[in-house]
Amino acid sequence: MTKVDFQVVPLTPEHWPALEELFGPQGPCYGCWFNHFRMPPKLRKPLLGEGAGQLFEERVSKGSPPGVLAFAGEVAVGWLQIGPRAHVPEWNNPRRASTPLPDAPAEDERNWAASCFFVRKGFRGKGVAAALLAGGVDFARASGARLVEAAPMDNEARRSADGLYVGPESVFQRAGFAEVARQKPGRPLMRFAF
């Protein structure tokens, strides 16, 4: 098998067409468009599909990049939502695997979250998630983050592609993340500190 080198870049407006092509007309994750951790269900659910896609496009066009995009040549093959914890308030709720610890409060914009992955079918299991995470950590460092946290799945024997939107624990371990808490079974809270 030929090794593929992936280029990972922050998602800026000029990359929007590539992201849109990656996600397809309905958008990823049942039309969520990565708003799951950004707003409560009562606001998010009515937007699923086109409304969620428009909201995501506005976020990309108006603000700092909400994550990184991986390319194989000219084709976008993966996405990682990564940015300040404050930008994903639902990720910080109590009783979640990703609930912030006292030493890394969500209000501190230097505390970042790697919250959601999406990898193109046909590229899964080929190193895209690892490339996205490495590029995401570089992006966080360059943006002044003091740490990046994630709450991946550790139950690799019973995982599904849908459930892996948080990423597998092994990818984070190989990238140098360490477990700092376990607030839910099968979901370690992992941290990479700069």
CATH number listed for the domain at residues 7-193: 3.40.630.30
pLDDT for residue 3: 60
Cα angle: 65, vertex 28, 74; to 5 degrees: 60
**Contact predicate 103/180, CB 8 Å:** no
User: For the chain, what are the domain ranges?
Assistant: 7-193
pTM here is 0.91
pLDDT at residue 29, as a whole number: 75
The SS3 assignment for 27 reads coil
Using 50, 70 and 90 to split pLDDT, how confident is the model at 98? very high
DSSP state of 41: H
> What percent of the chain shows pLDDT beyond 70?
90
Output the DSSP codes for 99-148.
PPPTTS-TTSTTEEEEEEEEE-TTSTTTTHHHHHHHHHHHHHHHTT-SEE
Per residue in 57-93, pLDDT tens?
888 999 889 999 999 999 999 999 999 999 998 899 9
Q: Give the Cα separation of 79 and 56 in Å (integer).
A: 13
Q: What is the pLDDT of residues 127-170, one digit of tens each?
A: 999 999 999 999 999 999 999 999 999 865 555 555 678 889 99
Average pLDDT, the chain: 88
